[in-house]
Structure 1
Amino acid sequence: MTSPSWTPPPTPAFAPTPDPLTPARDITHSHFDPGDQVVILKGVAGGELWGDAVHVVAPSWHTPTDEDGWRLRDATGGAQTYITGHPRYLVHLSRRCPECLIHLRAMEDHLLPKYADHDALVDCGWYTTTALGQLVHIADARSGR
């Protein structure tokens, strides 16, 4: 039996909150451009959504979904400066995009009430990074890849 190429996300402090919105999001590769600053929403902190802010760098094939993705750069460095992500994982920070604002509002409506009484950072455990440096939402993870 071979092990999967992705590592399961760390167990969050609270039971994971399902994310029915991001996997169903219909967003195309052309929605983002090189140079865009985006955020990958990962949870809640102090009554607000939080995530990883990155810059869109270049087109990149997203192997876990077999679709066009984006090479993303974390300007602060960290454990991994570059990753590849699917466009549906991204929300514009650098401009007020109507589609991204709608998605952001839907995520707020879905998550904030669930963690209204928590001041601590809550990582909902939706994402992992593969051995190939590709960010994968747990809904997109495939066994044996």
Structure 2
Amino acid sequence: MPDAVFRPPYIPGDIFTPDRDITHAHFRPGDKVVVIKGVAGKEVWGDAYKVVTPSWHTPTDEDGWRLYDANGGDRTYITAHPRYLVHLSRRCPDCLIYLRAMEDYLLPQFAGSNEAIDCGWYSLTRLNQLVHVHDARGNR
């Protein structure tokens, strides 16, 4: 993650992730992945993780993945839905198409900004479940 992250007053909606059709089987234990969270300069950025084991994703009531954050801290392990993840460890067509769509959508909106911008699409529940704003249900 960039050192300083800026959250603008207007945060564009994520039009791709909510409808992304990626199944649980697309990822495997040991895969390195990223969750795209915003823009830093002329690139999209996000948090990197290692896929560990299957884990139920409570906010969506679907199969998810337990992820390991090598940076540790309070949230060393979290659970995420497969549609939030992009492969870092291999160049699969589905993830590359999604990544390119996110770049084409986000980068023009923040052209000229050199700040790291967090679009605010994700939060963590008290059960360490990563949840997209589109998937948020109640106060879990």
Q: TM-score, normalised by structure 2?
A: 0.93
Q: Does 1:131 align with 2:130?
A: no
Deviations 1:51-78 (A, max 9, x none): 0000000000000000000000001213
Structure 1 residue 88 and structure 2 residue 109: aligned? no
Give structure 2 stretches of 5+ with no counterpart: 1-5
> Aligned equivalents of 1:133 and 1:119: distance in 2?
31
* Partner-residue secondary structure (3-state), 2:73: coil
Query: 2: CA distance between counterparts of 1:40 and 1:14?
Result: 22
TM-score between both structures, scaled by the size of structure 1: 0.90
Give me the whole-angstrom Cα distance separating, in 1, the residues matched to 2:44 and 2:131: 19
Amino acid at match of 2:19: A
In structure 2, the residue matched to 1:110 is 105
- Match of residue 17 from structure 2: 22
Instruction: Map Cα deviations across residues 126-145 of structure 1 (whole Å, 9 max, x no partner).
Output: 00000000000000001243
Q: 1:127 to 1:23 in 2, by over 3 A?
A: same
Structure 1 regions of 5+ residues with no counterpart?
A: 1-10
> Alignment partner of 1:23: what SS?
helix
Q: Does 1:68 align with 2:63?
A: yes
Asked whether the equivalents of residues 14 and 122 of structure 1 are also in contact (C-alpha less than 8 Å), the reply is no
Q: Structure 1 CA distance, aligned partners of 2:61 and 2:39? A: 29
Post-superposition offset of 1:79: 3.1
Q: 2:54 aligns with which of 49, 55, 59?
A: 59
Q: Which residue is equivalent to 1:142?
A: 137
Over aligned residues, Cα RMSD in angstroms? 1.1
Structure whose residues are more often helix by fraction: 2
Q: Does 1:122 pair with 2:128? A: no
Query: Which runs of 4 or more aligned residues in structure 1 lie more than 3 Å from their structure 2 counterparts after TM superposition?
Result: none
CA offsets per residue over residues 10-57 of structure 1, 9 Å max, x none? x92341110010011000000000000000000000110000000000
Q: Percent identity?
A: 67
